[in-house]
Amino acid sequence: MGAGHGHKLHYHGHSPVHRAPAHVKVLALLGFMLLVVATPRGWYPAYAVYLLLLVAVVAVSRVPATYLLKRMVVEVPFVVFAVLMPFIATGPRVEVLGVAVSAGGLAAAWALLAKGTLGVLASLTLAATTEPRDLLAGLERLRVPSLLVQIMGFMVRYLDVVTDEMRRMRVARESRGFNARDVRHWPVLARSAGALFIRSYERGERVHLAMLSRGYTGTMPPLHTAGHREHR
Amino acid sequence: MSTPVLEVRGLAFAYPDGHQALYGVDLHVHRGERVALLGPNGAGKTTLVLHLNGILGGGAGSVAVSGLPVTKQNVAEVRRRVGVVFQDPDDQLFMGSVHDDVAFGPANLGLRGEALERRVRDALDLVGMADFADRPPHHLSFGQRRRVAVATVLAMEPEILVLDEPSSNLDPASRRELAEILTSLDVTVLMVTHDLPYAYELCPRSVVLSDGVIVADGSTYDVLTDETLMAAHRLELPFGFDPRTVRARAAG
């Protein structure tokens, strides 16, 4: 039970970007992403403008660049795929640094990389400047069905609980001399995953019992007066 | 005598898989009492607790809370009157902030606006957690989470507080702090526990449930010092703890 703080994405701050209403930020992100995806791959100056815009927002938010860059590793699988594309794709060949690669593949790789990077960076900026529960409140204000928002809320709440449980199971496995080195060890991992699923499922039932015990009838009641959140 | 806060009569229950957990339980708890419910693992304690607020039902016998029978129609009012604090606070605290978790119960009762805020503040004040209202529950220590779990139930202003293993997993300081909170509350308490010194400290009366029936009901001192009874139901005092010397020390 570590007190290790779960703010894995959020970066605490009080900049205008932090203070902007969450639903506005969600809409801005959505609009930005649609715009980026719709931009033809050949319009290089447009991409430069998008990047500048993002960098400006990050600068205003005062989130350190290294903080965001470190978290951009989630993009690595896409980068690998993008790097492979020029070699795998067929079609006319062009020379890049003395290597013949597919022209179509190269263009596709550029588009994937540019759009992906902009998307990841924009999403990370939103995550870094918005508390998860403010994000949920923002989605609620955008009339996202309340059931979906509730499910997301539970996910945010129990993510740490479940990862902690997973960590404890791993420690217990390794304490008994287990070390996942090769394929033969996978069945053990699969069983652990199964056990984790069952445990989480049972926890879900217990949470439901606790909700019923406090008079839950199937809809989330409004918990806030208008003024409560603003003083923070 | 006045209407008991809790009146359990001839309660029997079998789970759908055929396992019979309760065989006719009779229990009365009166206003202002603090009662410990003791018993070995598998005695049916949790099953009994889940009957008190109408989560389980459908077996023989009856449960009434301040005269109100626990039935499908009354379940909302019963759940207001009976506040259950579950063993794992992570099961009980499911919202994104302490404030929202404490507000959940009273909001389900229909409270809104300033009345709701006042309930939340008062409940958090009672457990000394008012400064943590805006914190997400998973950033609190285990002892703090247990206290917030108590507040979530107190916010519903229950007539009886039912605690499932309140001292489990607490370090000695948190355990003592929780004891101080529980003794400071003006509420009837039924406490399920294996922690016999804790039962002795907090509850003047103890009830022993074993194999689905109540086998003893009396002062906690008498129950804990009845060696035959204790041995027959797998109850053991922890090493070094003897209610006789504790009482002598308290008296002297």
The residues near B106 (Cβ < 8 Å, ≥ 6 apart) are B116, B119, B120, B155, B156
The residues near B239 (Cβ < 8 Å, ≥ 6 apart) are none
Region A126-144 average pLDDT = 85
Distances (CA, A) of A114 to A51, B34, B62, B116: 9, 66, 68, 49
- B24 half-sphere exposure, CB direction, 13 A CA radius: 1
Whether A178 maps to a domain, the answer reads yes
| Spatial separation of the C-alpha atoms in residues B154 and B128, rounded to whole Å | 13
| Residues A117, A23 within the same domain | yes
Please check whether residue B85 is in contact with residue B158, taking contact to mean a CB–CB distance below 8 angstroms. no
* Tokens standing for residue B187: 């509420």
Residue with tokens 């009830």: B207
Residue after which a domain boundary falls, among A78, A105, A130? A130
| Spatial separation of the C-alpha atoms in residues A131 and A136, rounded to whole Å | 9
| Spatial separation of the C-alpha atoms in residues A103 and A91, rounded to whole Å | 7
Nearest CB among A160, A213, A228 relative to B138 is that of A160
What are the extents of the domains in chain B? Answer: 6-91+158-251
Please check whether residue B220 is in contact with residue B235, taking contact to mean a CB–CB distance below 8 angstroms. no
Which domain, by its residues, includes A92?
Answer: 16-130
Q: How many helices (H) and strands (E) does chain A have?
A: 9, 2
Q: Is the pLDDT of residue A4 over 70?
A: no
Determine, for residues B55 and A213 on separate chains, whether the beta-carbon distance falls below 8 Å: yes
| Residues A54, A119 within the same domain | yes
Whether A64 maps to a domain, the answer reads yes
Residue after which a domain boundary falls, among A79, A103, A130? A130
pLDDT given at position A172: 83
pLDDT given at position A179: 77
| Residues A85, A166 within the same domain | no
| Residues A126, A151 within the same domain | no
Whether A4 maps to a domain, the answer reads no
DSSP A21: -
Nearest CA in chain A to B107: A221
Determine, for residues A214 and B136 on separate chains, whether the beta-carbon distance falls below 8 Å: no
The pLDDT tens digits of the residues spanning B168-179 come to: 999 999 999 999
Q: What is the ipTM of this complex?
A: 0.80
Alpha-helical segments (H) within A62-185: 65-71, 76-88, 103-129, 132-141, 146-175
| Residues A104, A156 within the same domain | no
Looking at the structure, give the CATH architecture of the domain made up of residues B6-91+158-251: 3-Layer(aba) Sandwich (3.40)
Whether A187 maps to a domain, the answer reads yes
Tell me which residues of chain B have a pLDDT lower than 70: 1, 251-252
| Residues A111, A157 within the same domain | no
pLDDT given at position B13: 94
pLDDT given at position A145: 85
| Spatial separation of the C-alpha atoms in residues A186 and B229, rounded to whole Å | 51
| Spatial separation of the C-alpha atoms in residues A38 and A7, rounded to whole Å | 33
Domain count, chain A: 2
| Residues A193, A113 within the same domain | no
| Residues A21, A99 within the same domain | yes
Nearest CB among A156, A211, A212 relative to B96 is that of A156
Whether A81 maps to a domain, the answer reads yes
| Least confident range of A3-12, A41-50, B111-120 | A3-12
The distance of A92 to chain B (nearest Cα, Å) reads: 55
Q: Which residues of B touch A232 (CB under 8 A)?
A: 134
The pLDDT tens digits of the residues spanning A156-193 come to: 888 888 888 888 888 888 888 777 777 777 888 888 88
| Spatial separation of the C-alpha atoms in residues A135 and A144, rounded to whole Å | 12
